[in-house]
């Protein structure tokens, strides 16, 4: 059992898992592809590390109390939100689905249902895992 010291005190980790790159390493990786957005890259890298730490906590009740659990990127078109998310997803091996929210409507109206977002993410995750397994087999 390992401990991680955080602002909330010591949190005990019940299992060893892959090591998440440090925020400094994540920012360094993003710097290779994205010019500017220094603050955004730093904040997102820290959020990714915090999310990884949250997942390592064995107690679901304690894990649930650690907020925030989501990341919201906002900004004008073309400022790098999608590229930051795409590069981070690639580094940590997470599926990524780009969603244009204006396509989605309430049930009964013309447009896509919000369940479609979930299906797209599940499909992306399935494809990632299938590629990983196939590369191990070869």
**Alpha carbon distance 35, 120 (integer Å):** 29
Tens of pLDDT along the chain (138 residues)? 233 333 333 333 333 445 778 899 999 999 999 999 999 999 999 988 888 888 888 888 887 777 766 778 888 888 899 999 999 888 888 888 887 777 766 666 666 777 777 788 788 888 888 888 888 888
Please report, for the domain that includes residue 73, its CATH number: 3.40.50.300
104 and 87, same domain (yes or no): no
- Of 15, 8, 2, 20, residue with least CA distance to 65: 8
78 and 138, same domain (yes or no): no
119 and 80, same domain (yes or no): no
12 and 75, same domain (yes or no): yes
Query: For position 69, what pLDDT does the model report?
Result: 66
41 and 103, same domain (yes or no): no
Contact 51, 26 (CB under 8 A): no
7 and 42, same domain (yes or no): yes
Q: What's this model's pTM, rounded to 2 decimal places?
A: 0.63
- Rounded to 5 degrees, φ, ψ at 79 are -85, -10
Number of domains the chain is built from: 2
User: Which residue segment(s) compose the domain that 115 sits in?
Assistant: 99-138
62, 70, 98, 102 from 8: Cα distances, Å: 10, 18, 33, 38
């Amino acid at each position: 059992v390992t401990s991680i010291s955080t602002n909330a005190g010591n949190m005990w980790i019940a299992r060893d898992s892959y090591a998440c790159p440090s925020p400094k390493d994540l920012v360094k990786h993003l710097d290779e592809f994205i010019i500017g957005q220094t603050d955004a890259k730093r904040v997102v890298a820290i959020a990714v590390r915090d999310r990884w730490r949250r997942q390592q906590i064995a107690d679901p009740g304690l894990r649930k109390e650690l907020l925030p659990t989501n990341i919201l990127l906002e900004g004008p078109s073309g400022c790098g939100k999608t590229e930051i998310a795409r590069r981070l997803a690639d580094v940590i091996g997470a599926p990524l689905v780009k969603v244009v929210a204006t396509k989605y409507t309430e049930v009964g109206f013309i447009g896509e249902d919000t369940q479609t977002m979930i299906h797209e993410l599940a499909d992306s995750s399935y494809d990632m895992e299938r590629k990983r397994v196939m590369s191990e087999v070869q």
